[in-house]
Structures are given as structure tokens and as C-alpha cells.
Amino acid sequence: MRLSDSFLMEIKSRNDIESVISPYVALKRRGSNLVGLCPFHNEKTGSFTVYPQNGSFYCFGCGVGGDVVTFQMKIENVDYMEAVRMLADRCGLAMPQEGYDDSLQKLRLRIYEANREAARFFHASLHAREGKAGLDYLTGRGLSEGIIRRFGLGFAPDSWSALTDHLHRKGFDDDLLAQADLVTRRKNGGGCFDRFRKRVMFPIIDLRGNVVAFGGRKLPDDDSPAKYINTSDTPVYKKSHTVYAMNLAKNSKAANLILCEGYMDVIALHQAGLDNAVAACGTSFTDEQAKLLSRYTKEIIVTMDADAAGQKSTDRTIGILNRTGVRVRVLRLPEAKDPDEYIRRFGPERFRGLLDGAGNDIEYQLQSALVKYDVDTDNGRLQYLREAAVILANVDDSIARSLYTARLSETYHIPVESLEREIKAIERRRRSSERKKEAAKIVSGATAPDRVNPQRAANLGAAVAEENILNILMMHPALYDQEGLRVSADDFVTDFNRRVYERLAECIGQGMTPDVALFSGVFTAEEMGRVVAILNKSVGGDVAKEELRDCIQRLRREKNRQTSTDASRMDESDWAQKIKEISQTKRGDQKQ
């Protein structure tokens, strides 16, 4: 069973869509609507539109759309019921006690409980005899007892079943523990064994304070090939959407965030008083993580490991962060491979000095390119300037571009006009390439299978008529079932539009004004985008009644044409019945 329509309408009325979306998207008013950069795909021109008048949103770039519940589901990566619960908590509305399936919510709560109990077990094991090696490792890295407690660090004993046995005693079964990725099922089907063994444990905590996952680091004397083992995605955890220590850093008074590569770097910085440090969770930095960081700060200082892999990661991270619009600075670490080592060797104050002098991402890229070439030679200088021109061609800030172009001109004694011509030529080629890629996306999008309404392409005339009928009835429900304007679900050709009509008819039949919120519990998040696209079409206007009549007649003609095409495949009795139905439909059209 689903939530009642009255409860969904109450959720919508108490959660104004603009106030829910604005913390995630910078919205600008455009007429009666609001627009911004879509948080669900990368774009430079805002195609994400919010319609305050009907409480919906739609992105013309990627097709995502829906109501306030759909947005909460997509932005927080939660299921429908969890999104409703979050919105209910936001406005102080109590969830109904009956009438909906909360099995997934109960599963998530049990996984949270199991993870919390596992974190307690690991932390207690760290201070027990079996955890001495783990504690020695952490204190040997310079961590205090206070910081160990603050991050809830622990140790997984060198045992196949220590955690499993402990959690069994607490009432958790193997099925739940496997879904939480705390245990691994034996291949012979004979129970489970601990996923983490003989490892220093790092709990990963979400923004609401729930333990959602773990990272386990091997000890120095362990010959295991994997330095880290991390929790896989579970019903409560998606690593590409989670940022380590964000639960702490979000409360920092610092004006920026420091993005590190590993858990130990983050912990070392927090111990040094830099409580704005965070890291990706055992995965390459992602667009989703960048968007999460951009909600809490306008500037990010990137400090990755100094080795080749770290430099490559830095370059990739800069590109991802630049798409969010945040300011990016890059910290270079002399005489150390990572922030943890630098602080242990030179102290927190010297590290703070490096932070203050961290250059922006343009300086970092120009400096990284410089070390590749011998600029004392003509050929080396030419190669460097060409790569520098490519870097500057990708800088959108015209003032910054002019500043660094002038610096290069002065340093390497080359006319600034020559550099500017080269930069503009590269920019023109890049924009031309981007336009071709966008055109290719449009073409591929037009020819790609329609996953929401797969019958639409083969029945385009009927589908358009259906969508116009749905739009008019959504906007003018008083026209529903009027004499001469009656349409039934059987008139619809495409299954998806028929489902939308059936839900619309159900709402109108119950005396409810059609509203996008009444569809979100019935249709998937992907389908909601199409529902909103139909809702916000401009059809009919002052002549809605005439347009509705015309669309109904066009739909029936399309249905009859399709029926006639299929007639050759019918037996004699079916064919005669269809002819009778077509004749009756035509007489009905003539009466209208």
C-alpha cells in the first residue's frame, strides 16, 4: 500500500519546492519560473527549471524531473519512503503509522544498528589485548587517544568469526550482516565469516551521524595484497556519493575545505586543528562528491600525494571541481609524500603556512606543465608555451586568462598578441568540438530507446495527442467527462500514457485537483520526469476545450488506423467485431 493522497499533499504544502531545492542549486528567477545548473548532470548553461506554481522541476538537458519528493530522492540518493520521511521531519509532520510498505526503511535501520554495534566492537577491540598491534600502529603514526576516540577508530581481530559471533549475540542474522557487507558468505553455503580481519578500522559516518561503512587498513607486517579493504555499496551506503569526515567538516568555521587523498591525512589534519579536511571514500573522486562539497563551501584546497598517481589524481580532481563552480587551489608538498608525513616531520604551523600560499588551479597546471620541458632551449620553450596556451584556453575567467597570458609573455619574451591568437584559436577548436559532441548527444538521444515510453517512437502521432490530452485535463480538470469530450483509457495507444491517464482519472474521480505530488508515489523517479514534462506543456490556453476535442479525435483516428493495419492478422470473427467498434467510434465522433 502507498501513502494517502491527503498526506502527500500535506508534505508538498509544508515543503515549498524552492526552499528545498535552493540549498543545492543556485536559482535565478526567469519570469514566473526559476532556473539553475542541473545538480544531476554537468552543464555550463542552466537548463534546470523549477515551476513554483505547480511544485515541480524539470531539466531540459537530462530529462530528470518530478516533485519535491522526487528531488529529495535524487539529490540524497534515497528511496521514495526515506525521501518522504526526510521531508516530514523537515517540516515537523508525523509519518502515518499504517498504509505503506516500510520494509526497506526497516532494513536500513537494522543495517545502521548493525554498523553502529560493529563500530563499538572494533573500537573496544583496539583497546583489548588482541588489538595491541593496531593501537601501536596508530600511536606510532602520532595519533592521540582523543583523536582516536573522535574518529571512532578500531581494530578487527585476526579471527574468522569474532565480529560475526558478537553480532549474532546482539540479535543480527547472517542475511542482514551480508547485506551490510560486514560478513562474506562461504562458497559452500555453510554460514559466513568476517569481512574485515587483522586490520585497523576507520568507520565512515554520514551527515546525519549514522555509521554507514568501514575502511580497513592492513598492518605494516601484513603481506596481504590489498592495503585497504572498503565496504561495498549497500542499502545505506554509496561510496561515490560519500565524503569521509564530512560529518565533522560541515561544522568547521573555516572558509574552505581541504580535500585529501586518504583517511590518515584527514585525521592528521584534524588533530593539527584543521577540522575542515575531508577525503573520498576508497574510490576515485566523483562528480557526486564534488557537488556535495560545493554545498558547504565556495573554495576547496586540493592536496593529494606527491607521487605520479597523486599528481594524476589532482589533475582529474581539478577538472571535476571546476564543473561545480567552486574556487580551486592546489597545495604542493615539498619534502613529503602526503599531509600526514609533512605534519609529522615539520609540524602543523609550517603546514598552515603552505596552505596560505597554495596557488590556484591555473598556477598549478602551468607549473606542472613547466617541469616537462627544458625552457632554456627554443624547442622546449615552444612546446611549453603551446601547452600553456591549451591550459589558458580552458579558463573561463577572462581576467585570470589575461593576467596569466601577460605573465607568460613577459617571462618568455613573446608578444602577448601572439599568445592571445593561439589561445583564441584553441578555444575556437574546443568550442567547435563541444558543439559537435552536443549535436551527437542530441542525435543519439533522439535515436536511443525511450525507456519511459518505449512505444512512443512507433506511435508518435498518437503519443503526442495523448500527451496533449493529459496536459489539458491536468490544467482543466473541469473538462473531464464533459459531454462530447469523454475519453477512456482504452482510447490510449501507449501503455505509459494510459497509466498516467488512469492515475489522473482516479484523482479527478475522487474530487482531488490533479497535482504532480499525487503521481510521485505511483511512478518511478525516471517516469516522474516525463509526467512533469507533460504537465508543463503549453497546450490549449484559452481554447482548451476545442483543443481537447481535436486531440481526442486525432487519437481515435490514430487508434483506428493502427487497428486497420492489424486487421489482416485477425481471424474472421475478430475482424468483424473490430469493424463494428470502428463504426461505433466514427458515429460518436460525428455527434461530437
Domain boundaries, the chain: 5-91, 104-236, 243-366, 374-447, 457-591
Fold of 457-591: DNAb Helicase; Chain A (1.10.860)
pLDDT digits (tens, 9 = 90+) for 131-146: 999 999 999 999 999 9
**b/e 527-545 (16+ beta carbons within 10 angstroms → b):** bbbbbbbbbbeebbeeebb
> Comparing C-alpha atoms, which of 33, 14, 12 is closest to residue 536?
33
In the prediction, which pLDDT does 589 show? 46
All 3 cell numbers of residue 99?
498504509
Q: How confident is the model at residue 413 (pLDDT cuts 50, 70, 90)?
A: very high
pLDDT in tens, 337-396: 889 999 999 999 999 999 988 888 999 999 889 989 999 999 999 999 999 999 999 888
Summarised one tens digit per residue, pLDDT across range 234-282 is 999 999 889 999 999 999 999 999 999 889 999 999 999 999 999 988 6
Cell of 247: 560529518
Name the pTM for this structure. 0.73
Q: Does domain 5-91 have CATH number 3.90.580.10?
A: yes
Instruction: Give CATH for domain 243-366.
Output: 3.40.1360.10
Rounded to the nearest angstrom, the gap between the alpha carbon of residue 583 and the centroid of all alpha carbons in its chain is 52
Classify strands 299-302 and 327-330 as parallel, antiparallel or unpaired. Answer: parallel
The helix (run of H) or strand (run of E) holding residue 260 is: strand 257-260
How does pLDDT run across 24-83, given as a tens digit for each residue?
A: 888 999 999 999 989 888 777 889 999 999 999 999 888 899 999 999 999 888 888 889
Does residue 201 sit in helix, strand or coil? Answer: strand
Which homologous superfamily is 104-236 in?
Answer: DNA primase, catalytic core, N-terminal domain (3.90.980.10)
What pLDDT does residue 2 have?
66
Smallest CA-to-CA distance from 336 within 364, 303, 296, 295 is with 303
Give residue 531's pLDDT: 94
Q: What share of the chain is helix, strand, coil (3-state, %, to 5)?
A: 55, 10, 35
Confidence of residue 586 (pLDDT cuts 50, 70, 90): very low
pLDDT tens digits, one per residue of 200-240: 999 999 998 999 999 999 999 998 899 999 999 999 999 98
Residue 592 has pLDDT above 50, yes or no: no
